[in-house]
Amino acid sequence: MKLWDKGFEIDGRIERFTVGKDRELDLMLAPFDVLGTMAHVRMLASRGLLSTEELSLLLPELQAIYRSAEEGNFVIEEGIEDVHSQVEFLLTQKLGDVGKKVHSGRSRNDQVLVDIKLFIRDRMIRTVGKTVTLFRTLQRRSEEGKDILMPGYTHFQVAMPSSFGLWFGAYAESLVNDLSVLRGAWDVVDRNPLGSAAGYGSSFPLDREMTTRLLGFSGMDVNSVYAQMGRGKTERIVASAYASLAETLSRFAMDCCLFNSQNFGFITLPASLTTGSSIMPHKKNPDVFELIRAKCNRLMAVPGMIRSITSNLPSGYSRDMQETKEVFFPIFDLMDDILDITDFAVSSMELTEGLMDNPLYRNAFSVEAVNREVLAGVPFRDAYKKVGKEIMDGTFSFDGSELAHTHEGSVGNLCNDRVARRMEEVVGSFPLERVRSALDSLQSCK
């Protein structure tokens, strides 16, 4: 079944090429296609384009299809082109001519647009939850390690004293900004394209404000042409936000690979989190962090891939946009898996105490020594030269127990509570309750 069928057969090779993996990927959109249809038929009934009786027949059937999709039982049958065709086919199979009316005032173009936005919104909510879980684990480990010193590095050279509290806390705060970026992407997603039809609106007296409200959107993509131009752009913006999160996690994974090595020995992974070598019996490899790094790098490539598909398209719909699904849809499962496994690994790793007692890191206290001289009244440049000479002469020493950093965000004053409040503010700015309430009401038969 094809919604555009006009009685002629398409060559099988052309059909296979043009459909590609679309039917497989469309299964991910099934529950959201049903939600969009629920909103659309309610709106049609409010405009007199469906009768009350017809609406009362359609809504229970749509509920049943939605449950089937949520439970993983929805299939796109052989010979049926896409999820939109399958939903309409099931309605027509059960309700006859009533099922044939649900496409009035719609195009597959605005159907897939609203499906994708509802899908993205749902998956973003899931990612926010998993990011918050990792954030809390990082903050917990930060508090546990706040008094355990470790060397900080610049240019891959020993620089100044740091702490595990500072290290874990840095990545926790980075997640706050990543969710701020994701919140900005949410605003782009949270606009209703339904009613733009094929990109030029409809002569039906549609009520786009009503479908916007029913689907829990904050507003609509007002201009019908722009609603279509937003496809690809929306995905790229969301993928860019996910790439920001991936960058944080990739960098953390790189640190863990280094810090777990024998040359550093800052952290230790339990044997159960490592893998071995087929030839070297001593190996305990941090493959988990190497794969986190690689998968995050894949995620960071996605915005560029989407841009390369859509950047030179004209206004109006082009089939090129279909190709964005294949590179875009997988980012959500991939990111959620990364967040879960990172949280597990962070919870399990062991921290090495007494690192700064190693003479290898003695010079990391040079700035502390300079600052002590300055506080005693020595001009900074003179103090710098004095300590520098001691280092050159091999006579420099400093008791690390005297370390005293008091300013906000330093070794001795992490201010994790401030960062936690920021995270609460960012997460609280996502209008999750509005979305839940709207979709719960939409799925009722009243």
DSSP 400: G
Cα(411)–Cα(419) distance, integer angstroms: 15
Burial (Cβ within 10 Å: 0-12, 13-18, ≥19) of residue 134: buried
Cα(306)–Cα(233) distance, integer angstroms: 8
Alpha-carbon distances, residue 1 vs 4, 6, 9, 222, 224 (angstroms): 9, 11, 11, 32, 27
Distance of CA 17 to the CA centre of its chain: 30
Cα(395)–Cα(389) distance, integer angstroms: 9
Query: 16-31: b or e for each residue (b if 16 or more CB lie within 10 Å)?
Result: eeeeeebbebbebbbb
Burial (Cβ within 10 Å: 0-12, 13-18, ≥19) of residue 60: exposed
Furthest C-alpha separation in the chain: 94
Cα(99)–Cα(101) distance, integer angstroms: 5
Catalytic residues: 155, 277
Query: 287-306: b or e for each residue (b if 16 or more CB lie within 10 Å)?
Result: ebbeebbebbebbbebbebb
Helices 108-144 and 224-260, packing angle to 10 deg: 30
- At residue 5, what is the residue type? D
Q: Return the number of other C-beta atoms located less than 10 Å from residue 313's C-beta.
A: 14
- At residue 220, what is the residue type? M
